[in-house]
Amino acid sequence: MAEKEPISQTSPINGHVNGNGVINSKPKDHIEHSEKTPSQWIMGDAFTARAKHHASIKALWETKWKFPCEKGVYPFHDGKFGDFERVFNYLIENDINDGYGDAYTKAFFPVCDDLLKEAESCAASGKSDQASDIYLRVACLYRISRFPIMNSPVKWKAWEAQKETYMKAAETWTEPIREESIPHKAACGADGPTIPIYYRVPRSATEETPCPTMLLITGLDGHRPDNTQRTSEFLQRGWGCVIVEIPGTADCPADPKDATSPDRLWDSVFDWMTDKKIFSMPHVLVWGLSCGGYYAVRIAHTHRKWLKGVVAHGAGVHHCFSREWLDEADGHEYPFKLCPALAQKFGYDNVEDFKENSQKTFSLLETGILEKESTRLLLVNGTHDGLMPIEDSMLLFNYSSPKEAR
pLDDT in tens, 289-347: 889 999 999 999 999 999 999 999 999 999 999 999 999 999 999 999 999 999 999 99
Report, as an integer, the average pLDDT of 192-217: 98
- Specify the pLDDT at position 25: 39
Identity of residue 278: I
Mean pLDDT across the chain: 92
Give Cβ neighbours of residue 400 (< 8 Å, ≥ 6 apart): 12, 25, 301, 370, 371, 372, 373, 374
Interatomic CA distance for residues 344 and 146, integer angstroms = 14
Of the candidate ranges 26-35, 115-124, 147-156, the one whose mean pLDDT is the lowest? 26-35
Q: Do domains 52-172 and 174-405 have the same CATH topology?
A: no
The reported pLDDT for the residue numbered 274 is 99
d(CA 159, CA 168): 14
Beta pairing partners, 377: 310
pLDDT for 36 equals: 84
pLDDT over 70 at 276, yes or no: yes
Q: Is 310 helix (H, G, I), strand (E, B) or coil?
A: strand
pLDDT, tens digit, 9 for 90 and up, residues 14-70: 333 333 333 333 433 444 435 688 989 999 999 999 999 999 999 999 999 999 999
pLDDT, tens digit, 9 for 90 and up, residues 354-399: 999 999 999 999 999 999 999 999 999 999 999 999 999 999 999 9
Domains in the chain: boundaries: 52-172, 174-405
Q: What is the pLDDT of residue 20?
A: 36
Q: Give the pLDDT score at 26.
A: 42
Residues 304 and 5 sit within 8 Å (Cβ to Cβ): yes
Least confidently predicted of 19-23, 63-67, 155-159, 268-272: 19-23
Amino acid identity at 223: H
Q: What pLDDT does 271 receive?
A: 99
Say if residue 9's pLDDT is above 90: no
Does 148 sit behind a cis peptide bond, omega within 30 degrees of 0 on the bond before it? yes
Cβ atoms of residues 140 and 79 within 8 Å: yes
CA nearest to 317, candidates 297, 292, 301 = 297
The Cβ-side half-sphere exposure at 147, using a 13 Å CA radius, reads 21
Which ranges in 107-239 belong to alpha helices (H)?
109-124, 128-145, 153-170, 228-236
**Residue 358: CB partners within 8 Å, gap ≥ 6?**
321, 346, 348
Nearest to 247 by CA among 262, 232, 269, 225: 262
Could you tell me which residues are beta bridge partners of residue 405? Answer: 379
Residue 6 confidence (pLDDT) above 50: no
Looking at the domain 52-172, which fold is it?
Answer: de novo design (two linked rop proteins) (1.20.1440)
Question: CA nearest 387: which of 219, 263, 269, 248?
Answer: 219
Residue 71 burial by CB count (10 A; 0-12/13-18/19+): exposed, middle or buried? exposed
Closest listed residue to residue 289, CA positions, set 259, 313, 319, 273: 313
Q: What is the dihedral of CA 377, 383, 386, 389, to 10 degrees?
A: 50
Q: pTM of the full predicted structure?
A: 0.90
- Its CATH architecture, for the domain 174-405, is 3-Layer(aba) Sandwich (3.40)
> 130, exposed or middle or buried, with CB in 10 Å at 0-12, 13-18, 19+?
middle
User: What mean pLDDT do residues 73-99 have?
Assistant: 98
The three-point CA angle 198-155-231 to 5° equals: 25
The separation between CA 73 and the C-alpha centre of its own chain, rounded to angstroms, equals 17
Residue 68 parent element (H or E): helix 66-71
pLDDT at position 34: 54
Q: What is the pLDDT of residue 39?
A: 87
Q: Is 263 or 17 the better-scoring residue by pLDDT?
A: 263
Q: What is the pLDDT of residue 7?
A: 31
Q: How far apart are CA 331 and CA 51, in angstroms?
A: 6
Contact 304, 375 (CB under 8 A): yes
Average pLDDT over residues 266-278: 99
pLDDT on residue 290: 86
Burial of 14 (0-12, 13-18, 19+ CB in 10 A): exposed
